[in-house]
Amino acid sequence: MAHRVCPWWIGYLLLSPLRRWGQNPQTVLSPHVAPGMTVLDVGCAMGFFTLDLARLVGPDGRVIAVDLQARMLRALAKRARRHGLTDRIEFRICNDDDLGIDDLSGSVGFALAFAVAHEVPNQVGFLEQIRRTLSPGRHLLLSEPAGHVNQLEFGQTVSAAERVGFEVVDRPSIRRSRSVLLRRSLKGA
């Protein structure tokens, strides 16, 4: 699987209102996110899902938005200010092999990794870091673009998730994506 990071300028294309037609953030996220939750948005880019996550968690919730590219996070921060949501979003820059989320151990109620796992050179380490942030029994929605990640590659990613302590709960249908809802296993929690 290729491990090439999406250029920062593609972030503007990913914000297209047309994308909401097939990947409406409210539809995708509302079954998993409730007011007051702490949620993790890994590979948030310019925040296609982040702002909706912030609305769903409400004023008492928190969204931790993590991305590798500072330009993506700056654009997201600008959008969050424009929508009055900066008090709910924490912006974090990460690097290739460390998401910088160790301080969140067991405190996250829901994590989203949308169209990012195929860009990571060490998927096992990536998934393990996310798993550790989740409270036992809580969920990760992992989704990859069907145009970039074939079924075999996606199956390898799901297998890696199972090896680090996730269980497959569901395979939600999200347009133009291969998706799986994973739960942090209660075993060995």
User: Which long-range contacts (C-beta less than 8 Å, at least 24 apart) are formed by 17-21?
Assistant: 19/48, 21/175
CB neighbours (10 Å) of residue 72?
24
Please, what is the average pLDDT of the chain? 91
Q: Give the CATH number, domain containing residue 135.
A: 3.40.50.150
CB neighbours (10 Å) of residue 93?
13
Q: Is residue 107 in a domain? A: yes
Q: How many domains does the chain have?
A: 1
Q: Note the pLDDT tens digit of each residue in 92-109.
A: 999 989 999 999 999 999
Is residue 3 predicted with pLDDT exceeding 60? no
Q: Note the pLDDT tens digit of each residue in 143-159.
A: 999 988 999 999 999 99
Q: Is residue 3 in a domain? A: no
Q: Is residue 4 in a domain? A: no
The Cα–Cα gap between 189 and 135 comes to 9
Q: Is residue 1 in a domain? A: no
Task: Say if residue 84 is exposed, middle or buried (CB neighbours under 10 Å; 0-12, 13-18, 19+).
Answer: exposed
Is residue 1 predicted with pLDDT exceeding 70? no
Q: Note the pLDDT tens digit of each residue in 128-143.
A: 999 999 999 999 999 9
Q: Is residue 159 in a domain? A: yes
Q: Is residue 44 in a domain? A: yes
pLDDT at 186: 79
- Residue 183 near residue 139, CB atoms below 8 Å: yes
pTM of the model: 0.90
Q: Is residue 189 in a domain? A: no
Average pLDDT over residues 70-81: 95
Average pLDDT over residues 7-26: 65
Range of the domain at 31: 10-184
